[in-house]
Amino acid sequence: MKTIGNILWLLLGGIILSVLWVISGIVLCVTIIGIPFGIQCFKIAGLVLWPFGKEIELGNFGAGGLLFNIIWLILFGWEFALMHLSIGLIFCITIIGIPFGLQHFKLAKLGILPFGAEIR
């Protein structure tokens, strides 16, 4: 079932969202300071490409990860999370779109705190 969900996900905008995350990562990697944030964008882009069947475990980020998560949240995270929350709410309007909306809610959680998050 997750394979069918991932294929439908790609057809319904997963590729576009993944490309947007990669572009965000490239823009952030232009400066040396932005490289850790760009790497997190690349990690999220991989999840956005195939989200069904994967879980996110938050935590285990340490003091440096906490600092980077705070900076991420203030500068970029709230915008990314708000984007995924709004798209998820739009998908959840119909019964057929609920699984896709739930994936966007999962991505919103990762968009808020990417440092120290594990994708399984």
User: pLDDT band at residue 73, thresholds of 50, 70 and 90?
Assistant: very high
Q: The pTM is what?
A: 0.89
**pLDDT at position 76:** 84
φ, ψ at 119 (rounded to 5°): -105, 120
d(CA 33, CA 43): 17
Taking Cα atoms as reference points, which of 33, 44, 43, 42 lies closest to residue 67? 33
User: pLDDT band at residue 91, thresholds of 50, 70 and 90?
Assistant: very high
pLDDT in tens, 2-44: 899 999 999 988 999 999 999 999 999 999 999 999 999 999 9
Position 1 pLDDT exceeds 80 = no
Which residue segment(s) compose the domain that 62 sits in?
A: 2-119
Provide the domain count of the chain.
1
| C-alpha dist (Å) from residue 107 to 21, 33, 62, 83, 112 | 11, 24, 22, 10, 9
> What is the phi-psi region of residue 105: left when phi exceeds 0, alpha when psi lies from -120 to 50, beta otherwise?
alpha
How far is CA 39 from its chain centroid?
12
